Amino acid sequence: MIRAALLLAAAGVASALYSDATYTNANPTTIAADPYVRWDVQTGAYWAYSTEGAEDGWLFGIYTSPDMATWSKVPGGAIKNETDSLVWAQDWFWAPECYYNEETGWYFLFYAGRYKEPKLVAEYFKYPDFEEASKIGVAVSRHPDGPFVNIEANPIDYYPFDPNYRDVNLIMDPPYLVPPATEEAGATAPNGTYIPSIDANVFFDDSGSIWLFFSRNAYRNWVWDDVFGEYVEESNIYAVQLDEAWWHDPDATTMPAVHQNFRDVYQGMPEDWVSSVNDSYPGPTRKDGWVAIVSSKLQPQVWENAHVHDYAASNGTLKNRRWSEGSTTIKRYDSSGNPVYFLTYSANNYESPDYGVGYAYASSVDGPYFKSDSNPILSQNPSREVYSTGHGSIIGAMGSDTELFYPHHARPSVNATRYLYNARLFVEPDSLYMGFGAEAGDLRWPHGVAPLTVAAAVASGNGSAGTTWTVSVESASGAAFNLSHPSNRLLAWVEGNNATAVEVEVVGGNVTVGGKPGGEVKVVYQRARANETEPWRNVSQAESIWSDWDVVATTLTT
């Protein structure tokens, strides 16, 4: 009879809580931009949603992981473009985020997409040639791995409008690189514009209110800068309250809509506004509100100025720009019981050495938010080969509030694509502190991954030469490790009277013996290390830090 037995003492396995396993951000393999990670209690696994990573015909990559460090890819992606007839956006599918309602069992995917077709663009932004007409859409699924299906064939019912914006694009020429030279010249532009929105982050306040944080797309947001004496095109972070009907709908057929407090608050403004360019292009008629959360006007910070002279620096090929994007908001209480809202955001272009993450805090969900003097708190580190750190999301180990991580995108070299990295995030409400743990080196696992279990089954053969076992390693909550990931490895060898004569081949989770073992086949689970002297380490776990540490291993016997 063929069986797999754990080397670990049974009692030790059942209650082992501690693991010495580490992860490293070196040699990343999971392609991801703007990653959003959540812990899923249904599957006992972490799930990542990304702008990049979908296969052809699909939108948005999805990955799953037991440890928030080594990921398996979900085939396809989040939304099947070919079959979801409600896909309304035409390109620029960006920054998906997923939220689970335990009450109804529905998963909601929020994402940004752009309209390109002039008639559709005009419906939402008045002008058929409005530059970069991005909106926020919502798709739902019963499962974290999708497929997600759009609730409706249109974005959320929200028409954010800025009645005081000098729409200088109307007095500029395509490709809109050269804004008016003076504020006086800009003031000749008509007031009022609809606001293109990206980077949705839904914040569920414990008071019960639901807020949509989003970034006003950098396009068509030229802001006069008194310090530099020029217009700078900016993205800013705004928030708006949503209604709650969609969240509680047991059928998930209700689209989110802007809360009535923000609905059409700019009606009649500005005075001379006409809602359409002409009869062929009827524009939107509602003008909804928003709250400015993070912008250079509200609070300038020097580190965000890396691109304000790009037009001259690029010989007239780039715009003067400033970015605040990709926000995530969490709420904590200080020791007096007062709420503190913390918001992370990314500034500058992700390809720039100055790209990074800053944070702001507030005592109320809608602000005012104060940027930290410590900004940026995360940025590139060439000596450790970490570049383009930004646009992450905040997630506690196993969804907890205490052990936070900030999965984010970064690159191992200046010209590489963006991959999924992870770093610890420390938050201290009393001192209004937010800061990151190390990005490089051997980093501790989140709690709750251990105790690991190992199982093995014969895939083919009868125990003689050529027999293959498939070995699986699972987290405490039953999530499988991707043993083909370059950070995970099985070490296998034969122990017995004829051991040296038998070759053992390991490919991912498959262990094949080249001859009749004549003894036990031992298998140990190892993790890659950043340390080149000892690049692999046996993973051990223990019931308590005072008890024996057992190597995570199994024995394959025939």
Ligand X SMILES: *[C@@H]1O[C@H](CO)[C@@H](O)[C@H](O)[C@H]1NC(C)=O
Min dist. Cβ of residue 340 to ligand X (A): 32
According to DSSP H, which parts of 126-251 are helical?
A: 183-186, 245-248
**Contacts of ligand X in 56-95 (CB under 6 A):** 72-73, 81
Residue type at 148?
F
Stretch that binds ligand X, among 363-371, 396-404, 471-479, 507-515 (CB under 6 A): 507-515
The HSE-up count of residue 359 (CA atoms within 13 Å, CB side) is 28
Q: Is 533 in the site for ligand X (CB under 6 A)?
A: yes
Stretch that binds ligand X, among 131-139, 287-295, 297-305, 505-513 (CB under 6 A): 505-513
Stretch that binds ligand X, among 109-117, 135-143, 272-280, 287-295 (CB under 6 A): 272-280
Can you tell me the distance from the alpha carbon of 111 to that of 65, in angstroms, rounded to the nearest whole number? 22
Min dist. Cβ of residue 506 to ligand X (A): 9
Can you tell me the distance from the alpha carbon of 169 to that of 161, in angstroms, rounded to the nearest whole number? 16
| Interface pattern 7-46 for ligand X (x via CB under 6 A) | ----------------------xx----------------
CA 187 to the chain's CA centroid: 39
Q: Is 470 in the site for ligand X (CB under 6 A)?
A: yes
**Contacts of ligand X in 338-377 (CB under 6 A):** none
**Shorter beta-carbon distance to ligand X: residue 341 or 493:** 493
Which residues have CB under 8 Å from 175's CB, separation 6+?
Answer: none
Q: Is 188 in the site for ligand X (CB under 6 A)?
A: no
Can you tell me the distance from the alpha carbon of 176 to that of 132, in angstroms, rounded to the nearest whole number? 12
Q: Is 104 in the site for ligand X (CB under 6 A)?
A: no
Q: How far is CA 414 from CA 247, 350, 368, in A?
A: 41, 10, 36
**Shorter beta-carbon distance to ligand X: residue 206 or 279:** 279
DSSP 90-148: -EEEEEEEEEEETTTTEEEEEEEEEE-SHHHHHHHHS-TT-S-EEEEEEEEESSTT---
Can you tell me the distance from the alpha carbon of 147 to that of 139, in angstroms, rounded to the nearest whole number? 9
Stretch that binds ligand X, among 100-108, 231-239, 338-346, 502-510 (CB under 6 A): 502-510
Strand order through the sheet with 61-65? 36-40, 45-50, 61-65, 72-73
Q: Is 536 in the site for ligand X (CB under 6 A)?
A: yes
- In the list 114, 166, 321, 332, the residue contacting ligand X (rule: CB under 6 A) is 166
Beta carbons of 17 and 450 less than 8 angstroms apart: yes
Q: Is 384 in the site for ligand X (CB under 6 A)?
A: no
**Contacts of ligand X in 282-341 (CB under 6 A):** 315
Q: Which two tokens stand for residue 132?
A: 């970069």
Min dist. Cβ of residue 388 to ligand X (A): 12
CB atoms within 10 A of CB 336: 7
Q: How many residues bind ligand X (CB under 6 A)?
A: 41
The CA angle 156-161-165, to the nearest 5 degrees, is 150
Min dist. Cβ of residue 169 to ligand X (A): 13
- In the list 12, 44, 270, 412, the residue contacting ligand X (rule: CB under 6 A) is 270
Q: How far is CA 485 from CA 66, 72, 210, 340, in A?
A: 12, 8, 38, 39
**Shorter beta-carbon distance to ligand X: residue 405 or 469:** 469
Min dist. Cβ of residue 374 to ligand X (A): 27
- In the list 104, 352, 372, 510, the residue contacting ligand X (rule: CB under 6 A) is 510
**Shorter beta-carbon distance to ligand X: residue 278 or 299:** 278
Stretch that binds ligand X, among 19-27, 210-218, 275-283, 364-372 (CB under 6 A): 275-283
Beta carbons of 502 and 466 less than 8 angstroms apart: no
**Shorter beta-carbon distance to ligand X: residue 29 or 104:** 29
Beta carbons of 166 and 186 less than 8 angstroms apart: yes
Q: Is 531 in the site for ligand X (CB under 6 A)?
A: yes
Min dist. Cβ of residue 126 to ligand X (A): 10
For ligand X, the nearest residue by Cβ is 508
Torsion angles phi and psi, residue 529, rounded to 5: -115, 160
CA 302 to the chain's CA centroid: 26
Torsion angles phi and psi, residue 305, rounded to 5: -95, 15
**Shorter beta-carbon distance to ligand X: residue 368 or 508:** 508
Which residues of this protein are in contact with ligand X, per CB under 6 A?
A: 29-30, 72-73, 81, 128, 164, 166, 191, 270-271, 277-278, 280-281, 315, 414-415, 459, 462, 464, 470, 482, 484-485, 498, 501, 507-508, 510, 515-516, 518, 524, 531, 533-534, 536-538, 551
